Amino acid sequence: MIVALCTLFLGTILADVLELSYSFGTLNGMGFSLVPELKFWRVNVWFKLDFIFEYQKEHLRIKVPQTYYDIPYHFDMNLGRGGVELSNAHFSLPFSTTLNETENGWNFWTESFGMFVGHEKRYLYLKRPLIVVVGDDGSGEIGMPIKIGDFGVIPFYAGKGYGVWFTYKNSGISFTGESIAARLSLKKLLLKTIYDLKDKDLKIGLGFYHEGNWLVLSENSLEFRYKMEGCDVSGEFSKEGWRIQFSIPVW
């Protein structure tokens, strides 16, 4: 009985884990991918690990991720009043021009406070009664949320001066003397943009995860995966080049 249950459990976890892949584009090649997905209790986790043989400039090379930041992944453990997540979409972060909700990193959150560990920076934050953000690089921000139903106003002070957020539910737009920021939250999709009025520089980040499908947009790259019956389609567009990849589950 125990052996049967363990076999069923492992079979559920390991189903469709291994895929054969072929890609075309400037980064064309073929190989295989590991795409395990696991859901149990309050935990949802998956990742995609590619091993691709590429032929470029008359040379054959094997492309593997160099760091875990190069691997598309998502981890979420929601305990109701708190949790842990690792992704590019952090819905539980407070409205802030200092924090980047679409940055790849760990977020340890509760209803009132939390800690965000990004690729390069770390922050402690408070969500109520005031919004307070303190970074390990000396950056900081403080805001006073005023809510009227689903609408809200958050006057704040950050390192670059004073500003104000106008919010509706989990979306909003902010204005300072030097920048305009916007945050759009739609179910599983989170978009964050910041436009620097002085340097005329626009930064965009987007994260979307749902049932093994995902779309991630950063300043340097765009990546996606779409699951179809019998085949997965994924893609990568970056400074190094681009690829469209078709994958077929084999195990």
The pLDDT of residue 90 = 92
pLDDT in tens, 146-195: 999 999 999 999 987 899 999 999 999 999 988 999 999 998 899 999 99
> Mean of the per-residue pLDDT values for the chain?
85
Higher-confidence residue of 187 and 68: namely 187
Provide the pLDDT confidence category of residue 7 given band limits of 50, 70 and 90.
very low
52 and 139 fall within a common domain:
no
Higher-confidence residue of 229 and 192: namely 192
Tell me: cis bond preceding 129? Omega within 30 of 0 counts.
yes
50 and 116 fall within a common domain:
no
Closest residue by Cα to residue 249 from 15, 8, 9: 15
Percent of the chain topping pLDDT 70: 87
Please tell me the distance from the alpha carbon of residue 138 to that of residue 169, in angstroms, as a whole number.
30
Q: Which domain holds residue 71?
A: 2-75
Does a structural domain hold residue 228?
A: no
Averaged pLDDT, 107-118: 95
69 and 101 fall within a common domain:
no
201 and 117 fall within a common domain:
yes
